C-alpha cells in the first residue's frame, strides 16, 4: 500500500467528494441489503444468512475504539476536521457490515467523564452502532489485553483487525502495536481515526495533522498497514470486482482470481477460489456478495 503522505492528508478535501460519492453507494447497499438484493436470482432469508455467516470463515473484525461522548466533555475537545472523520468512520463501518465483518465497539472507562456512572461512556450520537454489535470496555490504552476482546477474537478465528476510532496516537496506535505483537494482521485506517492538537515539552503547539502523520510514520509496515478509507475499501486491485475476499475479509491473492458474470473476482487463497469455481451454486453467499458489487457498479437493480 502507498504510504499516506502529508500532501495527501493536507489536501484530503480534494478527494473527499469522490470518496463520499463512492462511500454513499457502500452505505446505501449496507443499509438496504434486502431491497437492493430483492430482484436478484440468489436470495437467502435473514435467518439463513445469519446462521451461514456465523459459520463462515470470516476472520476480519473492525474495531471502533473510544468513539464515546466522554471526549465531548473534555476541555481539549475540538470539531476541527471532525466532519471528515465522521464520514470516514461511518463509511468504514458500512463497508465492514457489507462484508459481514463483526463491528466491535470498545469504550474507555476510568475517572470523571470516563466513569460508567457519568453517563458519558456511550456512543457519540452520529456513529452507526447497531443492536447486536459486540461491545467491550477497557481501562488501559490498548483495546485487547484486559477488556476480554482478545480471547473473544481468538475463539472466533479472527486474525485480521481493522483499527479506527479516537484518539489516533493513543488508544488506536497502542491497540495496533499490541495487536501486531499478539500476532494479528493490522490495517490502520488513518482518516477513520481522530485526534486533537497538543503541546510539546517546550509548550509549542502541535497540530492534530502532525500527530496523525507521526502515527502513520511509526506504524507503517512495522505494526500495521496504514492507509485511507478510500485506498482500503474502494479501489479494487488488478482490475478485480472486489478488493477483499468475501470469505475471510483479507486482501486478494494473485493466484486466486476467477471469473463471475464476466467480471474478474478474487479470493485470499486458492482453496477459496477453487471451491467457488467448482461449485458456485453452493457458494451462494459469495455470489450474493459479488452480485451486490455488480449492482453497485452497474447502477442496476436486477441481474439476468
Q: What share of residues in the chain are helix, strand, coil (percent, to 5)? A: 45, 20, 40
* Residue 272 confidence (pLDDT) above 50: yes
pLDDT in tens, 53-85: 343 467 999 999 999 999 999 999 999 889 999
Total count of residues recorded for the chain? 304
What is the average per-residue pLDDT within 120-127? Answer: 97
Asked if residues 92 and 192 have their Cβ atoms less than 8 Å apart, the reply is yes
pLDDT in tens, 161-206: 999 999 999 999 999 999 999 999 999 999 999 999 999 999 999 9
Residue 161 three-state SS: strand
Residue 232 — pLDDT band, cuts 50, 70, 90?
confident
Residues in contact with 17: Cβ distance below 8 Å, sequence separation at least 6, in sequence order: none
State the average pLDDT for the chain. 81
At 237 the pLDDT is: 52
Distance of alpha carbon 290 from alpha carbon 296, whole angstroms: 10
Residue 301 — pLDDT band, cuts 50, 70, 90?
low
Domain locations along the chain:
6-233, 236-304
Alpha-carbon dihedral 71, 77, 79, 82, rounded to 10 degrees: -40
**Strands laid side by side in the 225-227 sheet:** 135-138, 103-108, 60-65, 160-166, 185-194, 225-227
143 burial (CB, 10 Å; 0-12 / 13-18 / 19+) is buried
At 28 the pLDDT is: 42
Asked if residues 29 and 98 have their Cβ atoms less than 8 Å apart, the reply is yes
Q: What is the DSSP letter of 252?
A: P
Residue 244 three-state SS: strand
Distance of alpha carbon 228 from alpha carbon 5, whole angstroms: 10
Upstream peptide bond of 167 is cis (omega within 30 degrees of 0): yes
**Higher-scoring residue by pLDDT: 153, 273:** 153
Distance of alpha carbon 86 from alpha carbon 236, whole angstroms: 23
**What is the separation, in whole angstroms, between the first and last Cα of the chain?**
36
At 284 the pLDDT is: 85
Provide the angle, in degrees to the nearest 10, between the axes of the packed helices 12-31 and 82-99. 40
CATH topology of domain 6-233: Rossmann fold (3.40.50)
Provide the angle, in degrees to the nearest 10, between the axes of the packed helices 12-31 and 284-298. 130
pTM of the predicted model, to two decimals?
A: 0.68
Amino acid at each position: 500500500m502507498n504510504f499516506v503522505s502529508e500532501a495527501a492528508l493536507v489536501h484530503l478535501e480534494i478527494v473527499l467528494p469522490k470518496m463520499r460519492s463512492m462511500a454513499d453507494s457502500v452505505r446505501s447497499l449496507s443499509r438496504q441489503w434486502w431491497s437492493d438484493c430483492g430482484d436478484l436470482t440468489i436470495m437467502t432469508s435473514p435467518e439463513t444468512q445469519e446462521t451461514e455467516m456465523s459459520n463462515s470463515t470470516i476472520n476480519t473484525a473492525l474495531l471502533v475504539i473510544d468513539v464515546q461522548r466522554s471526549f465531548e466533555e473534555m476541555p481539549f475537545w475540538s470539531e476541527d476536521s471532525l466532519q471528515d472523520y465522521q464520514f470516514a468512520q461511518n463509511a468504514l463501518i458500512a463497508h465492514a457490515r457489507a462484508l459481514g465483518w463483526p463491528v466491535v465497539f470498545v469504550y474507555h472507562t476510568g475517572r470523571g467523564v470516563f466513569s460508567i456512572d457519568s453517563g458519558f461512556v456511550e456512543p457519540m450520537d452520529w456513529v452507526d452502532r447497531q443492536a447486536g454489535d459486540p461491545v467491550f470496555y477497557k481501562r488501559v490504552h490498548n483495546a485487547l489485553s484486559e477488556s476480554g476482546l482478545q480471547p473473544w477474537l481468538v475463539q472466533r478465528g479472527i486474525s485480521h483487525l481493522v483499527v479506527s476510532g479516537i484518539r489516533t496516537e493513543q488508544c488506536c496506535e497502542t491497540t495496533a502495536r499490541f495487536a501486531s505483537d499478539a500476532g494479528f494482521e493490522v490495517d490502520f485506517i488513518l482518516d477513520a481515526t481522530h485526534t486533537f492538537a497538543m503541546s510539546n515539552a517546550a509548550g509549542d503547539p502541535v497540530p492534530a495533522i502532525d500527530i496523525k502523520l507521526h502515527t502513520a510514520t511509526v506504524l507503517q509496515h512495522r505494526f500495521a498497514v496504514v492507509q485511507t478509507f478510500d485506498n482500503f475499501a474502494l479501489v479494487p486491485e488488478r482490475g478485480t470486482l472486489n478488493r477483499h475476499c468475501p470469505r475471510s475479509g483479507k486482501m486478494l491473492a494473485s493466484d486466486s482470481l476467477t471469473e463471475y458474470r464476466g467480471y474478474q473476482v478474487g479470493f485470499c487463497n486458492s482453496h477459496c477460489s477453487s471451491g467457488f469455481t467448482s461449485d458456485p451454486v453452493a457458494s451462494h453467499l459469495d455470489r450474493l456478495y459479488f452480485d451486490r458489487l455488480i449492482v453497485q457498479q452497474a447502477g442496476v437493480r436486477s441481474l439476468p
